[in-house]
Each structure stands twice: as C-alpha cells, then as structure tokens.
C-alpha cells in the first residue's frame, strides 16, 4: 500500500504504462525526392558506359538466314510477255486506269484496235522488276497506281489521243516512242508533227534547192562573160566592115 501512496521514494512509487496506438501495415514517409547535384550529374554522364561500335554497320552485313522466295511460273510468263511488249512495239503509252463499265472498256478497245493499238492490263509487281533491269527504268515513277499500256508497232499518237479524248477515265501519263521517253505534253507535240512521208519530201526539197541555187550562181559568171565576149567580137567585126554596130555586115558573092 505504501508503494501506491503518494509518499516514499520515486522508485517505490507505483506507475502505470503509457498507452500507444500502433497502426499496423503503414510506414511513415521519411524520404522525399531530391534533385541530383549538378556536379554529380556531370560525373554520371562522363562515366556512363558506351558500347563500342562495330567496324561494319549492321545494314551492310548480309543476314545469315535469307528467305528464298520460290519464283512462280505464271509470274515468269507475265514478265516475259512484258519484255516482248517493250521489244516489239515502237509506241508504248502508260495510262492511269480508273474504274469504268465493262461496255465502255470493250468500246474503247474496239476503237483503238481500228488503228492497230492494243490495250494491255499489267500489274505493277510484274512490270517494275522488268523495267528496273532494262533501259526503260526511267518509266518506273509512272507505275504507281493501277495502270494500262497502249502499245502499237506503228506511230499512232494522233489517233490514240483522239480516242482517249472521249474516255475521261483513262489519263495519259507518258509514253516511250522509238526508245524516247516523252511526257504527256511531249506526246501531244509529237502528234502535231507531219507524217514521215511529208517530212521526207520537205527535207528532199530543201536539200535539192541549195544545189540548184549553187549551180545557177556558178553558171551566172561564165554566161555573163560569154555574152560580153560575143558583144566585143560583134563590135570588132562591125568596125572592120564600116557598118554601124548592131548591123550585119554584107556577105560577099561566091563569084569573086
């Protein structure tokens, strides 16, 4: 009882333990984010590990495993046909093809066939590999969308433009005429040229005119000199006979 009383030594006094409320499962936040010092940032950047670069860039190395695509026989046949088209025709026009009814397509092919112009429907994945390995590789930018070829062994640019004028779904992009690549404007200018026979006749006439003029110039001097000599001889003869110049001297009779 004495221990519970207020008197006595402190260590003898009774005491009650303090009550503490403890929350399980939660921790006090004792750390906050702090920016790294500038000097430490520079040190970390300088001491960062950089992997050595390879001597040969990876894009220059051939892959170890290459997938070999099996060449389709039908694709080879189509590529061979494209090669024959570019080899056997003098005029090859590349056009952009927009969707149109089948009847209009048949009618267009009929009108073009009258002028010996054929329509070839081709695929870009077939044409592009053929052109990339030939002298017509500058035509590759024209084969982007859906295209058709208008081919002819003759130069029928004027007739082709006349037919395409009535078919707005077909847009002419360019052409290759006699191994010469032309734009749309170039094809139109080519169509305005005269035919080969007319051009040959004009060329022959121009070439024949120059020699004729040269011949006339060369003959003019000797002809003028001959006329002067004839006039001089006539005057000399007129002076000997005493007759005025310009008159014929009298002829002597055969009895004297």
Look up residue 138 and give its two tokens: 């500058």
**CATH T-level fold of 73-191:** Alpha-Beta Plaits (3.30.70)
Mean pLDDT of the chain: 79
Q: pLDDT confidence of 4, banded at 50, 70, 90?
A: very low
Q: Which residue has the higher pLDDT, 32 or 235?
A: 235
Q: pLDDT confidence of 9, banded at 50, 70, 90?
A: low
CB-CB contact of 154 with 116 (8 Å): yes
d(CA 222, CA 239): 26
Give the residue from 158, 155, 199, 195 showing the smallest Cα distance to 179.
155
Q: What is the pLDDT of residues 147-206, one digit of tens each?
A: 999 999 998 899 999 999 988 889 999 999 988 999 999 999 988 888 777 777 878 877
Q: Are strands 170-177 and 180-183 parallel, antiparallel or unpaired?
A: antiparallel
Q: Are strands 147-152 and 118-121 parallel, antiparallel or unpaired?
A: antiparallel
Q: pLDDT confidence of 95, banded at 50, 70, 90?
A: very high
Of the listed ranges 71-80, 121-130, 146-155, the least confidently predicted one is 71-80
| Region 210-214 average pLDDT | 77
pLDDT given at position 215: 77
Residue-by-residue DSSP string for 168-214? TTEEEEEEEETTEEEEHHHHHHHHTSPPHHHHHHHHHHHHHHHHHHH
pLDDT given at position 67: 47
| Region 202-218 average pLDDT | 78
pLDDT given at position 163: 92
Of the listed ranges 103-107, 178-182, 238-242, 249-253, the least confidently predicted one is 249-253
Look up residue 224 and give its two tokens: 């003028």
Every domain of the chain and the residues it spans: 73-191
d(CA 72, CA 77): 9
pLDDT given at position 2: 46
d(CA 40, CA 48): 12
Asked whether the predicted pLDDT for residue 62 surpasses 70, the reply is no
pLDDT given at position 18: 56
Percent of the chain with pLDDT over 90: 24
Q: pLDDT confidence of 70, banded at 50, 70, 90?
A: low
pLDDT given at position 51: 83
């Amino acid at each position: 009882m004495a221990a519970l009383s207020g008197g006595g030594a402190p260590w003898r006094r009774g005491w009650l333990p303090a009550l503490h409320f403890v929350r399980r499962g939660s921790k006090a936040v004792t750390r906050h984010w702090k920016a790294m010092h500038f000097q430490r940032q520079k040190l970390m950047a300088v001491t960062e590990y950089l992997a050595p670069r390879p001597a040969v860039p990876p894009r220059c190395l051939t892959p170890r495993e290459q997938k070999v695509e099996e060449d389709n026989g039908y694709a080879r046949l189509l590529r061979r046909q494209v090669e024959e088209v570019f080899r056997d025709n003098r005029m090859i026009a590349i056009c952009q093809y927009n969707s149109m009814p089948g009847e209009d397509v048949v009618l267009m092919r009929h009108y073009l066939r009258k002028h010996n112009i054929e329509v070839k429907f081709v695929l870009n994945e077939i044409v592009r590999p053929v052109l990339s390995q030939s002298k017509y590789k500058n035509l590759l930018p024209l084969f982007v969308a859906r295209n058709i070829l208008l081919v002819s062994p003759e130069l029928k640019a004027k007739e082709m433009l006349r037919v395409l004028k009535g078919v707005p779904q077909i847009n002419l992009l360019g052409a290759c005429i006699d191994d010469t690549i032309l734009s749309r404007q170039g094809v139109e200018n080519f169509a305005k040229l005269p035919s080969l026979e007319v051009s040959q006749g004009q060329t022959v006439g121009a070439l024949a005119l120059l020699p004729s003029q040269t011949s006339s110039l060369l003959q003019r001097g000797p002809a003028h000199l001959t006329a002067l000599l004839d006039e001089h001889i006539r005057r000399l003869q007129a002076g000997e006979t005493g007759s005025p110049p310009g008159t014929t001297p009298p002829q002597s009779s055969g009895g004297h």
